[in-house]
Amino acid sequence: MDEQSRRHRMTAESRREQILDVTHAIVDTESFHAATLGRIATEAGITRTVIYQQFGDLPGLFVALVDRESERAAAQFASAVAASGDPDEDDGTFSDAFAGFLHAVDAHPATWRLFLFPPQGAPPELHERLAHAEAVVRQYIADVLLEINPRISDVEYSARTLHVAGRELLRLRLTEPEAASHDRLLAHVRRLTPALLRQAPRR
């Protein structure tokens, strides 16, 4: 079967995923500014009309991409949390969850680069989804901290500290994978967490 025949046989859902994949590849290596309708159509081997039919317009395509990758990242977050350890083991919960995040970053780097390093020209929806996701992660961290130590002195700032540290370590994994090995990053998380948990109790 030749290429033209394969294009005609592609289902609407497969075509939609193909366009999103092509768009994401351009955004990941360059920016949203580089992902023009003409370039996406050319690299996907389709006409602009097909993009309009699937997404309405270019902003609609960008929002669809952000939504898809948000769902993927959320599923990976849920999987990492589900695999985490017993909160009674102090830092075990966080190190297990962080290990899950590291595996997700390694398996799906383009998804995580989109949120850890938002490309130029990103639609406002990306920043909205990112702000929501960060709030969810901070709340998860705060809940676990309170479960481990109900008398922790400042759970909000402790959660923010762990969140910022974790985000930076994941960024290092993406930008310096050889130096930022799993063992090195996990060892740092294991050193950092107990210091926060040993805070003076609230008065």
- Quick: pLDDT tens for 70-90: 999 999 999 988 877 665 555
pTM of the full structure: 0.87
Mean pLDDT of the chain: 89
Torsion angle of the four alpha carbons 38, 41, 46, 50, in this order, in degrees rounded to the nearest 10: -90
pLDDT confidence of residue 51: 96
Model confidence over 55-74: pLDDT tens digits? 999 999 999 999 999 999 99
Domains of the chain in start order, with CATH, are 1-56 (1.10.10), 65-197 (1.10.357)
pLDDT confidence of residue 194: 76
Using CA atoms, how far apart are residues 121 and 150, in angstroms rounded to an integer? Answer: 43
Compute the average pLDDT of residues 169-184. Answer: 97
Asked whether 55 and 61 are in contact (CB, 8 A), the reply is yes
Q: Is the pLDDT of residue 135 over 70?
A: yes
- 155 burial via Cβ count (<10 Å: 0-12, 13-18, 19+): buried
